[in-house]
Amino acid sequence: MRRFLLLAPLLPFVVGCGVVVQLPEERAADAAQDVAVEAGGKLYGQRPRSAAEVGRSAADIDGVEVLRVTGTSTHDDGIEVIIRTSGSAYGDRLDSRKTVVRRCFVLRVSSGTERGGTPHGVDCPDGPPLAFAPPPEPPPLPVAQLRAQLPRVPQNGRVEAAEVRRAVAALDMDPAVRTEMKEDGGRVGLLLSVEGNGFDPQSCLLARVEPGSTDVWTPPRAQRMPGEGGCTVGNALDPLPPPH
């Protein structure tokens, strides 16, 4: 009787502390879904993109294979991407074998997509992963030619904006290169730029002509990121401080 009284208080504790243990296959499937969730977060964005751009971006994510892309534009009907990911997990102490699973998920990318959604699992389409051509390189900016063409004004001289315009007009530039010029306090600032994609660093070239000095330079990468103000004619006249 005494022995029963000692053990009885322990029974609820033993029963109440039961732990639900996932099988290795379940944990591996969860890991595969985590990769898909992360991919969906990386593809999120409000910038208009084509199906090829979305597919290429998805294929560049580690651990992701792109099997199908449908749609035209993120700002028209949206883009659906079927991706394949993999996950792995080990068994318990008695079974330390590694279990690997591969799963497919559909991601929807559009201007109305909310960040952080859970991707839906789907059957994997037949066929190998899709291959995407690299994005086209932006047209080159004429750094050396611009430096050679721009006028050198003596310290006590005067900068003529028309002379700067003629120097720029003489350059053999791609039509995609945009030119902007601004006069300020006897100085002339110049911006040569190529339209960016709103995500990667923009390609641009700055110049400033003033009495005693003619400078041509490319802003640091950090300043050429969207929203940083590096690729502006104002940055040519009054350069931003160097990034830390």
User: Is residue 206 exposed (0-12), middle (13-18) or buried (19+ Cβ within 10 Å)?
Assistant: buried
Query: Contact 181/193 with Cβ under 8 angstroms?
Result: no
Whole-number pLDDT of residue 19: 58
pTM (2 d.p.): 0.60
**Across 44-53, 71-80, 101-110, which has the greatest mean pLDDT?**
101-110
Question: What average pLDDT does the structure give for the chain?
Answer: 87
- Stronger pLDDT, 55 or 8, i.e. the higher one: 55
Q: Report pLDDT digits (tens) over 130-148.
A: 999 888 888 999 999 999 9
At what angle are helices 51-59 and 24-43 packed, to 10 degrees? 140
Mean pLDDT of 230-234: 96
> Could you please report the per-residue DSSP string of 17-32?
T---PPPHHHHHHHHH
Q: Among residues of the chain, what percentage have pLDDT more than 70?
A: 87
Whole-number pLDDT of residue 114: 67
Whole-number pLDDT of residue 18: 53
Handedness of CA 26, 27, 28, 34 (dihedral sign): positive
- The string over 213-236, giving b where at least 16 C-beta atoms fall within 10 Å of a residue's C-beta and e elsewhere, is ebebebbeeebbbeebebbbbebb
Q: Report pLDDT digits (tens) over 90-120.
A: 887 666 788 999 999 999 998 776 666 788 9
> Could you please report the per-residue DSSP string of 164-179?
HHHHHHTS---TTEEE
Mean pLDDT of 165-190: 95
Handedness of CA 55, 58, 60, 63 (dihedral sign): negative
| Residue 95 three-state SS | coil
Rounded Cα distance, 68 and 202, in Å: 30
Q: How confident is the model at residue 87 (pLDDT cuts 50, 70, 90)?
A: very high
Residues 6+ apart with CB under 8 A from 102: 32, 84, 85, 86, 124
Residue 164 has pLDDT above 50, yes or no: yes
Residue 12 has pLDDT above 70, yes or no: no
Mean pLDDT of 43-65: 89
Whole-number pLDDT of residue 116: 64
